[in-house]
A and B are shown apart, each in its own frame.
Chain A
Amino acid sequence: MVKVFKLVIAGPYGAGKTTFVKTLSEVVPIETDVPAPGKSTTVAFDYGKIRVNDIVVHLFGIPGQERFNFLWRIIARGMHAYIFMVDSSSLESVKSAIFMYNYFTSTFPTTPHVVAANKQDIAKVDINNVRMILGVKPDIKVVPLIAINKKMVLETLVVLLDEVHRLMYGSSFQQGNSHGTGNEKTLM
């Protein structure tokens, strides 16, 4: 039986969510971007997927603008985890993420997530300041990211999956867990 792992890529306008989905997806992603002054913006959602054995990872990039916040909950319904992306190339961009980050952490308080400080190649705000500005709790990881760099995108995903594992099963894969058998705990 094919199972669905639902991963949401959240973050404000211009954070790089569409790029992240494009970099990771193994199928041509569905994009719903339209031109905006100086760049494009997602008006509905981005979608991509990756098949891993009998598990299909569905990637949903959600629209960042606050006027679409009624869509956030629709798209996030039934997600296993989310990556919250911020554009760390300016202080203003990081601050613009506060509303959405508060929304996600208060609406989905138990859903595993990591914060990805994107555009590290041109970063003006380091990950410690990203943490401070967003008020990220100490047990939540903030990782550096360049969304066009596949290695960094995969590293972010691995950190997130490790967090999912740690939160659901109380230990970190990186700390030496091997595949168990007969696990009865389930995620969801």
Chain B
Amino acid sequence: MSESNSIVKMINEELGINLLGVLVFNGNEIVLANDVPVELMRLAASLINFINRVNGLEYAKVKLNNVLMYAVRSGDLIIVFLANPTLIEGALSLVNRYVDKLVKMSWEVLNKAKAIEPAVTVEGDELTEDDILILLDYFKGKLRELEAKGE
């Protein structure tokens, strides 16, 4: 269960609506996501591509494939609310009050990633065929040892 799941639940309970999910993008990358179906993620990603290409576009509202997508820009981040298209205009505008909370949560995640990035940027070296065969020999040997022990 992700934070975005709980915030979707909270928004739905507080507003009495039925949001399908929330996504937060940084550029074209997802920072926070509900467990929304891949098809909806793809639709949202298309919308984000469009918004990123248009300077000064602060929000967008699109109905596509029976899904209403409402995207709001906040600095470098874009928050996308996914809803049933029957959701009334007034209810949709109420979700704006959750933008700041989602932005805060997203930056926490991004900062955590930035903090650990130096630790995970170990990159593989150039390996020769002999190197690969040495690894294969070693792990096959470990397997034989286990088999010999009857494990």
User: From residue B79, how far is it (CB to closest CB) to chain A in Å?
Assistant: 13
Mark contacts of B93-123 with chain A using CB atoms, 8 A cut-off: 1 yes-contact digit, 0 otherwise.
0000000000000000110110011011111
Most A CB contacts (10 A, CB to CB) among B31, B116, B129 go to: B129
| A74 and B121 within 8 A (CB) | yes
Mark contacts of A152-163 with chain B using CB atoms, 8 A cut-off: 1 yes-contact digit, 0 otherwise.
001101100110
- Residue in chain A with minimal CB distance to B121: A77
User: From residue A22, how far is it (CB to closest CB) to chain B in Å?
Assistant: 16
User: From residue A108, how far is it (CB to closest CB) to chain B in Å?
Assistant: 13
User: From residue B108, how far is it (CB to closest CB) to chain A in Å?
Assistant: 11
Interface size class of A (residues with CB under 8 A): 35 or more
- Main secondary structure, interface of B, reads helix
The size of the chain B interface, using a CB distance under 8 A, is: 46
Alpha-carbon gap, A2 to B110, bound state (A): 33
Chain B contacts to A: CB under 8 angstroms: 1-4, 26, 29-33, 35, 38, 41, 109-110, 112-113, 116-117, 119-140, 142-143, 146-147, 151
Query: What are 16 A-to-B residue pairs whose CB atoms are below 8 Å?
Result: A3-B126, A5-B124, A45-B116, A58-B122, A66-B30, A70-B26, A77-B121, A77-B123, A80-B127, A150-B151, A158-B140, A161-B136, A165-B132, A165-B136, A179-B133, A187-B126
Chain A contacts to B: CB under 8 angstroms: 3-6, 36-37, 43-45, 47, 52-53, 55, 57-58, 60, 65-71, 74-75, 77-80, 96, 98-99, 102, 150-151, 154-155, 157-158, 161-162, 164-165, 168-169, 173, 177-181, 183-188
